């Protein structure tokens, strides 16, 4: 496998004190509704840039040689990865270029620029932006930072798994949203390395199920994802993520758009959390009865991010 438990432990040492050690908070109403003994929410929305992406981005940047750091980095992203790379590159004094698809919401563009990055709007899709970013990287000698299929990115995201087991060594089931697969592959590597009997279950929207389809096919599948959970709209699973998931992820379940929106409203009204729809995916799977567990088990849900626009939040809350 491309990433090991030792890689994640090394990442944890590098990240200590430089990213938020986010809390795992009890969600008693979710426990009552699901029949679990305990349900906790791992609040990655409390990271400085609002998502788990801080972890992988910083781990990648800290692994650059002095020459690579001096040359600068480039990433393609329409949201959270862009902000994670831009923010930590600014902190470390590394020049950063972020390529975003044309049509990226203005607030995301400005937020990324606020961290000092050169932002370029190219292509009508994230795939088109990626092609441009790789060409520019080759032309300018920049280091390309992939959002989910880089070993150091995966290892950084895996530090979440170490923290969750430290908070609850008796964890029975851990539920993780899936986009390209970097988050779940890192967490699964950490969890299976320390607690092999703990189940790791991934969640994808029915309309954006790149990893689920790849696992069924046994190879990477290209899709055209369309979900309100835009943070999970990856056109394909990462190659490293797919290989790791085959061995270390127990199951991938699918949720509907209505289930995602209902989970968003529940977290907003009951838990007082304004998360992005992608961050509500784990909760959606639990309240929809799609997470297998026995009464009395401990279940943890990763809330992956909180970068929801006021327009999206208002639309979902008004659609009840």
What residues act catalytically? Answer: 53, 304
The C-alpha atoms of residue 297 and residue 202 are separated, in whole angstroms, by 18
3-state class (DSSP) for residue 207: coil
Q: Where are the beta strands (DSSP E) in 161-276?
A: 173-177, 199-205, 251-255
The C-alpha atoms of residue 225 and residue 279 are separated, in whole angstroms, by 17
Is the sign of the CA dihedral 244, 248, 253, 259 positive or negative?
negative
The C-alpha atoms of residue 234 and residue 155 are separated, in whole angstroms, by 19
The C-alpha atoms of residue 285 and residue 211 are separated, in whole angstroms, by 16
The C-alpha atoms of residue 178 and residue 282 are separated, in whole angstroms, by 9
The C-alpha atoms of residue 100 and residue 53 are separated, in whole angstroms, by 16
Cα–chain-centroid distance for residue 162? 16
Helix axis angle, 210-217 relative to 239-248, nearest 10°? 70
């Amino acid at each position: 496998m491309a990433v090991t438990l030792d890689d994640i432990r090394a990442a944890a040492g590098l990240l200590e004190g430089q990213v938020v050690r986010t809390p795992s908070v009890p969600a008693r109403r979710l426990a009552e509704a699901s029949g679990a003994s305990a349900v906790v929410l791992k609040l990655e929305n409390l990271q400085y840039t609002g998502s788990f992406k801080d972890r992988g981005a910083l781990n990648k940047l800290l692994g650059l040689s002095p020459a690579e750091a001096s040359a600068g980095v480039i990433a393609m992203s329409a949201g959270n990865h862009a902000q994670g790379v831009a923010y930590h590159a600014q902190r470390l004094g590394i020049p950063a270029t972020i390529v975003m698809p044309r049509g990226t919401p203005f607030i995301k563009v400005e937020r990324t620029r606020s961290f000092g990055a050169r932002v370029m709007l190219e292509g009508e899709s994230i795939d088109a932006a990626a092609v441009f970013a790789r060409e520019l990287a080759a032309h300018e000698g920049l280091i390309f930072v992939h959002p989910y299929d880089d070993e150091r990115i995966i290892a950084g995201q895996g530090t979440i798994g170490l923290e969750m087991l430290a908070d609850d060594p008796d964890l029975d089931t851990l539920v993780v949203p899936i986009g390209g697969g970097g988050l779940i592959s890192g967490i699964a590597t950490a969890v299976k390395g320390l607690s092999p009997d703990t189940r790791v279950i991934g969640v994808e929207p029915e309309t954006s199920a790149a990893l689920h389809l790849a696992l069924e096919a046994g190879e990477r599948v290209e899709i055209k994802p369309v979900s309100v959970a835009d943070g999970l709209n990856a056109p394909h699973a990462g190659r490293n993520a797919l290989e790791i998931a085959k061995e270390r992820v127990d199951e991938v379940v699918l949720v509907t758009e209505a289930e995602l929106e209902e989970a968003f409203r529940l977290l907003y009204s009951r838990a007082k959390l304004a998360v992005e729809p992608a961050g509500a995916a784990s909760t959606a799977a639990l309240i929809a009865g799609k997470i297998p567990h026995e009464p009395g088990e401990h279940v943890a849900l990763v809330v992956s991010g909180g970068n929801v626009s006021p327009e999206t939040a208002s639309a979902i809350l008004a659609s009840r």
